[in-house]
Amino acid sequence: MESEIRIKLLNAFTTHQDEYLSGQAIADLLGCSRTAVWKHIENLRKEGFEFEAVRRKGYRIVATPKKVIADEIRYGLKTNILGSHIHYEETVDSTQKVAHQLATDGASEGTIVVAEEQISGRGRMDRKWISPKYTGVWMSIILRPQLPPHRAPQLTLIAAVAVVQAIEEVTGLTAEIKWPNDVLINGKKITGILTEMQADADRIVSIIMGIGINVNQKLDDYPKEIQSIATSLSIEKKEEISRAQIIQSLLFKLEKLYQLYLQHGFQPIRILWESYAISIGKRIKARTLSGTITGKAIGITDEGILLLEDEAGVQHQIYSADIEL
């Protein structure tokens, strides 16, 4: 379907969710015949939209497809840069891999890669990220900040703040951050963030910000051993959540924070990040590649590095670790 007609039609239905739109009203809106309206609706049905048709009343939308089609993300997207190009795929190895390739081929800042399913989703520290079909937000965002490479970890922290704010806006649920990049609800992981970088010696060429949000998984969808540590928005909220809305809100929040960061540096982000963080001020265990350090998390530096004070009062700078509370 030509995309302009499609957008008009879907806009009309989604802004009149509970009302019937007559065939004639739609025909007037689209400037086409009633037969053409019927054809457009049939096309949408093939994509998974469901309509109820009632004689003398017209059509009403009753369900949108499970898929997060790119157009659904586009409507109502209030950003200027993020999501300006949407690269949508049904199945990929990893959206990170696709985004790296697009970035290498010159994709512009704000290009996003969204997939319904990842076969080899990647987590931090070489772990897997399970990404079943139609259940989550599996997305990678290409950024091109003009910054030196050592500032890249700050962008992970920006992403975590944006995720917390988006979850709050769309679902009303309160989420918290566990350094550096886990977002938890009621102590269980809801989101993982993996920030990767293409860089020269002294400047970032591109940042590939990978965000995985568990949205509509049911508890049974998780293996037993994961059920106590992972959750989804729908498990917590006890209703289905629109993945398109989560993406829209996330891109909007992220763009605002990214602009704030580019204009005013990391300080304002750090304040927000610390206000959402659960580990700060608490005794934690940090498992690093070179050993485990136990102590009190006292904050993060302006580079986004975790400061830990051990029993002897010695301060450690933690660049990468798994944190146990």
- The annotation places the binding site for biotin at 118, 122-124, 189
Q: Which is nearer to ligand BTN, 59 or 249 (CB)?
A: 249
Q: Which is nearer to ligand BTN, 162 or 193 (CB)?
A: 193
For 191-207, give the DSSP string: EEEEEEEEE-SSSEEEE
34 CB neighbour count, 10 Å cutoff: 13
Total residues contacting ligand BTN by CB under 6 A comes to: 21
Residue 139 exposed, middle or buried by CB count within 10 Å (0-12, 13-18, 19+):
buried
209 CB neighbour count, 10 Å cutoff: 27
Length of the chain: 325
- What are φ and ψ of residue 174, in 5° steps? -95, 125
Q: Which range of residues in 38-46, 208-216, 224-232, 287-295 is near ligand BTN by CB under 6 A?
A: 208-216
Among 118, 135, 231, 232, binds ligand BTN (CB under 6 A): 118
Asked if 215 and 234 count as a contact pair (C-beta separation under 8 A), the reply is yes
Q: Which range of residues in 51-59, 64-72, 136-144, 297-305 is near ligand BTN by CB under 6 A?
A: 136-144
What is the pattern of x (binds ligand BTN, CB under 6 A) and - over residues 56-95?
--------------------------------------xx
CA distance 237 to 65: 21
Among 49, 59, 138, 276, binds ligand BTN (CB under 6 A): 138
Q: Does 13 bind ligand BTN (CB under 6 A)?
A: no
Q: Token pair for residue 42?
A: 């049939």
Q: What is the CA radius of gyration of the chain?
A: 22
Sheet holding 176-178, edge to edge: 86-92, 112-118, 136-143, 204-214, 188-199, 182-185, 176-178
Q: Does 222 bind ligand BTN (CB under 6 A)?
A: no
Show Cβ contacts of residue 186 under 8 Å, excluding neighbours closer than 6 positions: 231, 236
Q: Which range of residues in 10-18, 72-80, 118-126, 281-289 is near ligand BTN by CB under 6 A?
A: 118-126
Q: Which is nearer to ligand BTN, 26 or 209 (CB)?
A: 209
CA distance 292 to 90: 40
Among 123, 132, 145, 299, binds ligand BTN (CB under 6 A): 123
Among 64, 111, 135, 140, binds ligand BTN (CB under 6 A): 140
Among 100, 122, 243, 270, binds ligand BTN (CB under 6 A): 122
Q: Which range of residues in 4-12, 124-132, 241-249, 266-274 is near ligand BTN by CB under 6 A?
A: 124-132
Torsional sign, CA 87, 88, 91, 95: positive
- Residue 78 Cβ vs ligand BTN, minimum distance, rounded to whole Å: 22
Q: Which of residues 158-197 bind ligand BTN (CB under 6 A)?
A: 182, 192-194
Given the rule CB under 6 A, which residues bind ligand BTN? 94-96, 118, 121-124, 127, 129, 131, 138-140, 182, 192-194, 210-212
